[in-house]
Structure 1
Amino acid sequence: MRRPSRSRLFVVHLLVASLFLVLFGRLWQVQVLDGGRYARAAVEDHVRQITVPAVRGRIVDDRGRPLVRNRTAMVVSVDLIQLGRLPGRGRDVLRRLASALGRPYGEIAGRARLCSPTVGRPCWPGSPYQPVPVADGVEERVALQIVERPEVFPGVTAEARPVREYPGGPLAAHVLGYLAPDDVSGGGDPSGTRLVGRDGLEATYDADLRGTPGRREVVVDSAGQVLRVAREQPPRAGATLVTSIDAKVQEVVEKALAKAVRRAPGASTGAAVVLDARTGRVVAMAGYPSYDPRVWTGGISPADYRRLTSGDRPLVPRAIQGQWPPASTWKITSTVAAVKAGKDPRGGYDCSGSYRVGDRSFRNFGGIGHGTMDLRRALVVSCDTIYYRFAHEMWRKDQKAKNPADPMQKTARAFGFGRRTGVDLPGEAAGRVPDRAWKRAYWESTREAACAEARRGHPELARRDPARARYLTAVAAESCTHGYLWTAGDAANFSIGQGDVLVTPLQLARAYAALANGGTLFGPRVARAVVAADGRVLREITPPAEGRLPVGKKTLKYIRDALAEVPRSGTAAAAFAGFPWERVAVAGKTGTAESFGARDTSWFASYAPAGRPRLVTVVVIGNGGTGADAAAPAVREIWEGIYGLGGREAALPGGVPADDLPRLDAAGAEAPAARGEARAARGETAVKGAGPGKAAPEGDSE
């Protein structure tokens, strides 16, 4: 054999040496140059982030009484990592746990699984390294029995945690709102377990109430077992939200509303609002039916959610989302429009039993004529035909004009109708002020359906109710061919708040507040201030003044004088029979919105004291009958509760809301607002100045 040459051996040695040099160079790079980076990566691979939820801020009324607060409740949680290492992934442990808690196994097992694209609620949306709550509100005795037997319940813990508590139960549920998990938590909650406000004040002021969650970094081993806490940042509690709601007035309003709805045959829905006319603040607001917000604590069941969103939909806040024709309560706007058009309020006008518009006869309520009267009397007895005539004359004038003036629509919008009030609650409806442009747009969107209905008719309804079937078919035929026209009949219906006019109870209350306070139209607000956990006032919330009514002082006084007679001798006299006028004078207006084939919608809008108004109260009862039958008695009951009439304890002595913020100490305990309560007890109503959030000035001169 030939022996390898010296040159070949040298090449081999050189190659081996080069390989070793490259290897040692790479080792030096990894250990020296990049050593810190790899060390950090190795540590980070074993560090897990855990979110520590903050204690949510409370919501209190204008005296500092809690509407929503936190209480501690025993919460049972499981460690998913530890359960995963047990036989059957801990299913036997979960079965024993469900039995001990007296709850279905499916409920516990469902909460103890991780959410994913294929796994929906109930499930855990957070980190598997956090304790996963599977049951809350557990009796302390039961919780202790579980944690004291770790051999039976491995990986199961129990601890006291803050949960939302509602001292008044269903009280002000639509105003307060509720909490639900934030499934898409951008904004600083990597666990995805944050509870956020989904409705009411909880939603609007969520950023203030929720506080700042803390962070905990834990070191885990390769099996996921927590070894130690590396770093911890404590959470910061949320702020307290002070509202203008008076809890006692709210209770009076809800009881009166529920009683009125239950008493009216066929009624099932309604709403009520109490406003401070001088500041625009909401004192009470209620809808019927309502619900108990405690149903959301710990997660709502599918059955409960279906109940809240079906039928009469108790979840809907009807004071701001319910929309009804306002009927004769609307006549305050029509009166102003008539006076601005040149009608003498003290002139004589014929209140006949009916008024002819084209080929249709528009009847007064009940077809009763009341003879010649001025506009004051027309408001007191709620004469329709006088307003039909005014609307018909304005319509004919507009028909000849190149650019129709639409004076009644313009006046209604100046009263704040047809747009949202801007109240600090989500989901507010805008109502509707129909005009020529709206009529055409609506016709264009519904013409095809109307024509189809006119051709098809209503054969099934015709067998049960031939008259209604013929009426609906005729309406559909008219809508198909001429539905784009703003007719004299549309104008007549508009003048008395019927036809296509829609308002929310809060819109109507705001309009009457402007009438009562001298002409200032406020943007209502429920919240008054945001107060930090240490007692500092972070900011105050003031209802903005959004405009002035297009009417002078003399006309406003004339209308107010008329409304003061309605409960005494007008359409609400029966409902207010025997009322102690010497103690509190109430002014108001009834409304009865008629609907073909259904019971009337009942309204009553009012304010008191009539001579120097402070509070406005509006009640609507769907399918409740006439305004005098259902809504007016409910309003009377509210006024009696507020002022303490008829032997009742006064919910708001003197009828004066608190002027000052309640004093909340650093720990969040309530302290009475001494000055405000003393002033209310004395019945004083003087306010220092005018402007947004303070007393509105009297109207200017004509």
Structure 2
Amino acid sequence: MVAVQLLVLALFAGLTARMWYMQVPRAEHYHELALASHTQKLIEPAVRGRILDSSGRPLVTNRTELTVTADFHALLNQDDDGAAVLRKVAELVDRPYEKLSGRVRLCGPETGRPCWQGSPYQPIPLAEDVDPRVALQIMERKSEFPGISAQQMAVREYPHDELAAQMLGYLQPITQEEFEAREELRAEFSGVDRVGRGGVEGVYDERLRGDSGSRVLAVSSQGDVRGTIKATPPEPGMHLVTNIDTRVQQITEDALESAVEQAQQQGKPTDSGAAVVLDVRTGGVVAMASRPTYNPEVWNGGIDAKTYDKLLSEDADEPLVSRALQGQFPPGSTFKPTTLAAAVENGASLNGSYSCPGSVGLAGRSWQNFAGGGHGAISLHKAIVVSCNTVFYKLGDEMYHDHKRNGDKQSGRDPVSAMAHGFGYGELTGIDLPHESSGRVPDARWKREYWEDTREHSCKMAKKGYDDVAEEDPSHAAYLERLAREHCLDGDRWRAGDAINRAIGQGDMLLTPLQLARAYAAIANGGTVYEPRVGRALLSADGERVERIEPVKAGELPMDDRTLKYLQRALTAVPKEGTAAGAFDGFPQGEVSIAGKTGTATMQNREDSAWFASYAPTDDPQFAVVVLIPQAGTGGTAAAPVARKIYEGIYGFSGSGGGEQGGGDRPSGPALPSGAPPSELPSVRADGSVDQLDDH
């Protein structure tokens, strides 16, 4: 009996201790659990900030629409996985059942489109822009539509359709992986919220999104709402003012599209192009166009299989890719100013005389001028103006041998490589957009690394051969096999031929249009290399806060002022009397003088690609304009006329000559009446609307 009594006392002591633990140290925890069973927390999404151009004109706005949504887990718990209720919804909203059932599938490696990319804990949008009467039927007949709801949803609206699509980006649901990686997201997002993907929507997503609010509702055991316990209002997202000018962007896209279409009509195999307009004083992106493009509205509410497949299809030619900052091409003769600056820094005379024959023998082979013409003894100034290849071939060869004599520094940067990196080539520009390409500056170091990465494959192909290519082109197959054999044996050697080819922007040299535009902007502004910026400022929804996005200086061109001014004078002569003179014939250069350089890049088994890099006005530079049209012909005939149209639109000049692409209707007025990007910022009025600069 004593033992039993001791056991009972021990049990009572344990029970008492447990009750004390639950009611004192853990009291708050269990209070919250009890309360949670009678409350429901709702996340109220904040209004996403608008995206505006430099004058306050809307590029991306918001609209609200009724959206029918599904609860993934509620459907999954039904006997038929929700098939019956989805068929009812499909009939009610007049949408195909297959489309709705596809939307509630979770995306995975083996899942086709459409599918749900977001979290299964979020309501999944089934149908957007639903008639209010339809939404009301669903809400009033909940027993007939278990797991289905309807709610107001803010979606992005693009007033200018395709304009600047790759720069703006789009919105998509939060993925399950993002939820798992960041648990705090559950407290920030409602079921229909979206996050920025691509473009400035992605880069500035946190500021545009704002802070979600919440409401804690008192709920009865039957699910009836008894009242609001606590409410935290949402904080609207900030508006993003960009450096983009809507009118200049439209002019740029129209000119580029017209040029691509015209090249196609002439039988050229071109199907893409890019153009960039930068503010040379700050690096601001005034316009950036890429063809082909698309309308970002396709992402609203989830993209369907047909549209998604089309965006990724070969026929569409990757419209999601921005050729301006992702496309990498040999720059051709637009690279010659870099070679000139490197040669002068290496000891070449700015006042010297240089032979420009039609061809020159170097490194055991003959190197040709474009079209085989020569100009006799000329200055470096004229070598830029007439784009004499043979002068730059010899400069490249001389610098190669000088570098070898100075200790045979094959592992270090030679003069041209060092100057190219000083111009910002071969590295990311730092633009506030995702997925930028870095380009490539070939030199001894790069070639060694490339050889180590590719030697095994080259040796394999040298032994195996290119039988598939030989079936259609035996000579090309033999050429590829010879290259593979040479690369296998001693592809790590940086040769004179590599340096000679690089001197005119050919060979393994690759740049993006954005990199070239930044470099020419630096030539224009006196030598400062800026990081390009799309964003200019952030404005709070009430107008109380203004956060400027200041220009970021990335470096200085590694040349003295004398060389820079010499280059500026030579580039100024190109549109007047050089390789771009035909494209700018009749252009009022007395009012606005253009400086620039044409480029014609060649690639194996491809047509010539056209470049034109420029800036204006030469007496007070404001804009750098670069145009690239792959496989369209020479820079002077295909790319320079596009730049001319852009300048005509900026300054309000009528088209007057300049070859087949130089004409055009007289514009209603200059896109930028002041001849420069605006220095002021638009403001937000008390009612939340934006006070545009051109309203004054």
TM range (shorter): 0.7 to 0.9
Identify if the C-alpha distance between structure 1 residues 344 and 13 changes in structure 2 by more than 3 Å, giving closer, same or farther.
closer
Aligned to 2:280: 277
Residue 95 of structure 1, aligned match among 87, 91, 107? 87
1:631 to partner: Cα distance? 1.1
Residue 390 of structure 1, aligned match among 388, 395, 410? 395
Identify if the C-alpha distance between structure 1 residues 403 and 534 changes in structure 2 by more than 3 Å, giving closer, same or farther.
farther
Which stretch of structure 1 is more off in the superposition, 35-44 or 329-338? 35-44
Distance 2:382 2:12 in 1: 110
Which ranges in structure 1 are unaligned for 5 or more consecutive residues?
1-7, 679-702
Aligned 8 A contact 1:51 1:190 in 2: no
Identify if the C-alpha distance between structure 1 residues 123 and 581 changes in structure 2 by more than 3 Å, giving closer, same or farther.
closer
Aligned to 1:319: 324
Aligned 8 A contact 2:525 2:621 in 1: yes
Identify if the C-alpha distance between structure 1 residues 84 and 468 changes in structure 2 by more than 3 Å, giving closer, same or farther.
closer
Aligned to 1:108: 100
Residue 419 of structure 1, aligned match among 396, 413, 427? 427
1:599 to partner: Cα distance? 0.4
Distance 1:27 1:453 in 2: 75
1:19 to partner: Cα distance? 9.8
Identify if the C-alpha distance between structure 1 residues 140 and 221 changes in structure 2 by more than 3 Å, giving closer, same or farther.
closer
Aligned to 1:655: 675
Per-residue CA deviation, residues 636-664 of structure 1 (Å, 9 max, x unaligned), is 11111111111213222243111111112
Aligned 8 A contact 2:119 2:174 in 1: no
Aligned to 2:197: 198
Identify if the C-alpha distance between structure 1 residues 365 and 44 changes in structure 2 by more than 3 Å, giving closer, same or farther.
same
Please state whether the residue corresponding to 1:513 is helix, strand or coil. helix
Tell me whether 1:359 sits opposite 2:364 in the alignment: yes
Aligned to 1:189: 185
Aligned to 1:505: 513
Aligned 8 A contact 1:468 1:597 in 2: no
Aligned 8 A contact 1:98 1:105 in 2: yes
TM-score, normalization by structure 2: 0.88
Per-residue CA deviation, residues 139-169 of structure 1 (Å, 9 max, x unaligned), is 4465456667778667755443321111111
Identify if the C-alpha distance between structure 1 residues 178 and 240 changes in structure 2 by more than 3 Å, giving closer, same or farther.
same
Residue 665 of structure 1, aligned match among 685, 688, 692? 685
Tell me whether 1:255 sits opposite 2:250 in the alignment: no
Tell me whether 1:540 sits opposite 2:545 in the alignment: no
Identify if the C-alpha distance between structure 1 residues 30 and 554 changes in structure 2 by more than 3 Å, giving closer, same or farther.
closer
Which stretch of structure 1 is more off in the superposition, 118-127 or 645-654? 118-127
Distance 1:450 1:316 in 2: 30
Aligned 8 A contact 1:79 1:131 in 2: yes
Aligned 8 A contact 1:358 1:488 in 2: yes
1:248 to partner: Cα distance? 0.7
Identify if the C-alpha distance between structure 1 residues 227 and 629 changes in structure 2 by more than 3 Å, giving closer, same or farther.
same
Tell me whether 1:348 sits opposite 2:368 in the alignment: no
Aligned to 1:690: none
Q: Which amino acid aligns with 1:444?
A: E
Identify if the C-alpha distance between structure 1 residues 582 and 143 changes in structure 2 by more than 3 Å, giving closer, same or farther.
farther
1:374 to partner: Cα distance? 0.8
Identify if the C-alpha distance between structure 1 residues 21 and 556 changes in structure 2 by more than 3 Å, giving closer, same or farther.
closer
Distance 1:436 1:619 in 2: 30
1:274 to partner: Cα distance? 0.2
Tell me whether 1:304 sits opposite 2:307 in the alignment: yes
1:523 to partner: Cα distance? 1.4
Per-residue CA deviation, residues 574-621 of structure 1 (Å, 9 max, x unaligned), is 222222323322221100111122101110001111232211100111
Alignment of 1:510-525 (within 5 A): 510-525=518-533
Per-residue CA deviation, residues 250-294 of structure 1 (Å, 9 max, x unaligned), is 111111112222222101122111001112111011111111111
Per-residue CA deviation, residues 383-428 of structure 1 (Å, 9 max, x unaligned), is 0000111111111222222154611111111111111111111121
Identify if the C-alpha distance between structure 1 residues 474 and 219 changes in structure 2 by more than 3 Å, giving closer, same or farther.
same
1:52 to partner: Cα distance? 2.0
Which stretch of structure 1 is more off in the superposition, 83-92 or 57-66? 83-92
Please state whether the residue corresponding to 2:600 is helix, strand or coil. strand
Aligned 8 A contact 1:665 1:671 in 2: yes
Alignment of 1:481-630 (within 5 A): 481-630=489-638
Aligned to 1:135: 127
Tell me whether 1:472 sits opposite 2:477 in the alignment: no
Which is higher, the Rg of structure 1 or of structure 2? 1
Aligned 8 A contact 2:360 2:390 in 1: yes
Please state whether the residue corresponding to 1:394 is helix, strand or coil. helix
Aligned 8 A contact 1:51 1:189 in 2: no
Please state whether the residue corresponding to 2:324 is helix, strand or coil. helix
Aligned to 2:243: 244
TM-score, normalization by structure 1: 0.87
Identify if the C-alpha distance between structure 1 residues 410 and 50 changes in structure 2 by more than 3 Å, giving closer, same or farther.
same
Alignment of 1:136-215 (within 5 A): 136-140=128-132, 142-143=134-135, 157-183=149-175, 184-185=178-179, 186=182, 188-190=184-186, 193=191, 194-215=193-214
Aligned 8 A contact 2:125 2:301 in 1: no
Tell me whether 1:440 sits opposite 2:477 in the alignment: no
Distance 1:143 1:351 in 2: 77
Distance 2:120 2:363 in 1: 72
Distance 2:8 2:386 in 1: 113
Aligned 8 A contact 1:529 1:541 in 2: yes
Q: How many residues align?
A: 666
Aligned 8 A contact 1:334 1:387 in 2: yes
Please state whether the residue corresponding to 1:641 is helix, strand or coil. helix
1:298 to partner: Cα distance? 0.8
Distance 2:141 2:15 in 1: 56
Identify if the C-alpha distance between structure 1 residues 101 and 344 changes in structure 2 by more than 3 Å, giving closer, same or farther.
same
What percentage of aligned pairs have identical amino acids?
A: 46
Per-residue CA deviation, residues 456-500 of structure 1 (Å, 9 max, x unaligned), is 332333342233223222222221222111111111111101111
Per-residue CA deviation, residues 10-66 of structure 1 (Å, 9 max, x unaligned), is x79979996996799589759965777545433334444432222111110100011
Distance 2:342 2:539 in 1: 44
Distance 2:109 2:226 in 1: 31
Distance 1:579 1:286 in 2: 23
Which stretch of structure 1 is more off in the superposition, 156-165 or 386-395? 156-165
1:195 to partner: Cα distance? 1.8
Aligned 8 A contact 1:197 1:203 in 2: yes
Distance 2:681 2:446 in 1: 44
Aligned 8 A contact 2:166 2:293 in 1: yes
Residue 115 of structure 2, aligned match among 113, 119, 122? 122
Per-residue CA deviation, residues 160-185 of structure 1 (Å, 9 max, x unaligned), is 33211111111111111111122113
Which stretch of structure 1 is more off in the superposition, 542-551 or 591-600? 542-551
Alignment of 1:2-151 (within 5 A): 29=20, 38-78=30-70, 91-111=83-103, 122-123=115-116, 133-140=125-132, 142-143=134-135
Per-residue CA deviation, residues 525-549 of structure 1 (Å, 9 max, x unaligned), is 1111111111123421111122222
Aligned 8 A contact 2:72 2:120 in 1: no
Identify if the C-alpha distance between structure 1 residues 667 and 208 changes in structure 2 by more than 3 Å, giving closer, same or farther.
farther
Q: Supply the RMSD in Å over aligned alpha carbons.
A: 3.2
